[in-house]
């Protein structure tokens, strides 16, 4: 067991974990933060994307021990009193259907907009290549990210 300290959505946690425990299982099974889902086991789908010290990571590809000392933001901690511009935009543009990819898609988009506050549609598509959605055909996801960018989500 290894002792780790992690801040998740503004709350500090200290836990002893198996070195092999994945960050996503730490979030879901140890902390009960089930807003972050798991969609694959090969880091292809991106459903489990969270922000680690502000950068998007696939939490199935990070060990909990690697997150020691870091500040994690999950979909549950993104809203700050009101919905984040990306959450508003995903709702307004109907950018989700089943919603399973949505947490990862929104957090990957947050990182994308941080790097490039005014992306073209092509840059949005390329930037979200690591996040798979089976429902929307991506059309409305692209529109939502564009809308969030216009609302200043990346500023």
Partner 1 sequence: MTTTAESPAAEIGKARTRKEDARLITGQTTWTDNLVLPGMLHMAFLRSPYAHAKITSVDVSGAKSMPGVVAAFSGADFAEEQGSLPCAWPVTPDIVIPPHPPMATDEVRYVGEAVAVVIARDRYAAADALASIDVSYDPLEPVLDIRTALDEGAPKVHETGNKSYEFVFPTCGDIDAAFSGASVVIERDYRQQRLIPCAMEPRAVVASWLGDAVTLWSATQIPHVLRFAIAAFFGIPEQSIRVIAPDVGGGFGSKLQVTAEEVLAVLISRRLGRPVKWTESRSEGNMTVHHGRDQWQRISIAADSDGRIRGLKVDLLADMGAYLMLLTPGIPLLGAFMYPAIYKMDAYSFRCTGVFTTKMPTDAYRGAGRPEATFVIERIVDELAAELGMDPLELREQNWIKHTDFPYTTIAGLTYDSGNYEAATARAKELFGYDQLRAEQAERNARGDSVRLGIGVSTYTEMCGLAPSRVLGSLSFGAGGWEHASIRMLPTGKVEVVTGSSAHGQGHETAWSQLVADQLGVPFEDIRVLHGDTQISPKGMDTYGSRSLVVGGMAVVSACDKVIEKAKRVAAHMMEASENDIEFVSGRFQVRGDPEQGRSIQEVSLATFAAHDLPDGVEPSLDSDATFDPENFSFPHGTHLCATEVDTETGFVKIRSYVAVDDIGKVVNPLIVDGQVHGGVAQGIAQALYEEAVYDEAGNLLTTTLADYLLPSAADLPSYVTDRTETPAATRLGVKGVGEAGAIASTPAVVNAIVDALRPFGVRDVMMPCSPERVWRTLEAARASAGQQSATSSNGGAA
Residues found near partner 1 in the complex (CB under 8 A):
18, 20-21, 25, 28-29, 32-42, 44-45, 47, 74-76, 78-79, 83, 87, 90-92, 94, 96-103, 106, 121, 124-126, 128-142
Q: Closest Cα to residue 20, out of 79, 64, 54?
A: 64
Nearest to 129 by CA among 99, 105, 153: 105
Q: Which is nearer to partner 1, 67 or 144 (CB)?
A: 144
Q: Count CB atoms within 10 A of the CB of residue 71.
A: 16
Q: Please identify, using beta-carbon distances, which residue of 21 and 65 lies nearer to partner 1.
A: 21
C-beta closer to partner 1: residue 69 or 150: 150
Strand partners, 80: 82
Minimal distance in Å, beta carbon 53 to partner 1?
20
Specify the residue, 38 or 62, whose C-beta has the smaller distance to partner 1: 38
- Dihedral, 9, 20, 39, 7 alpha carbons, nearest 10: 0
């Amino acid at each position: 067991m290894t002792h780790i300290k992690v801040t998740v959505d503004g709350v500090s946690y200290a836990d002893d974990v198996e070195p092999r425990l994945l960050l996503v299982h730490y979030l879901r099974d140890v902390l009960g933060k089930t807003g972050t889902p798991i969609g694959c086991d090969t880091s292809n789908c991106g459903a489990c994307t969270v922000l680690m010290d502000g950068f998007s990571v696939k939490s199935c590809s990070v060990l909990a021990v690697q997150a020691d000392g870091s500040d994690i933001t999950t979909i549950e901690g993104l809203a700050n009193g009101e919905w984040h511009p990306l959450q508003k935009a995903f709702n307004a543009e109907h950018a989700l259907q089943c919603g399973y990819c949505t947490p990862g898609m929104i957090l990957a988009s947050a990182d994308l907009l941080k790097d490039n506050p005014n992306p073209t549609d092509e840059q949005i598509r390329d930037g979200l290549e690591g996040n798979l959605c089976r429902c929307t055909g991506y059309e409305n996801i692209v529109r939502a990210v564009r809308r969030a960018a216009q609302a200043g989500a990346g500023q």
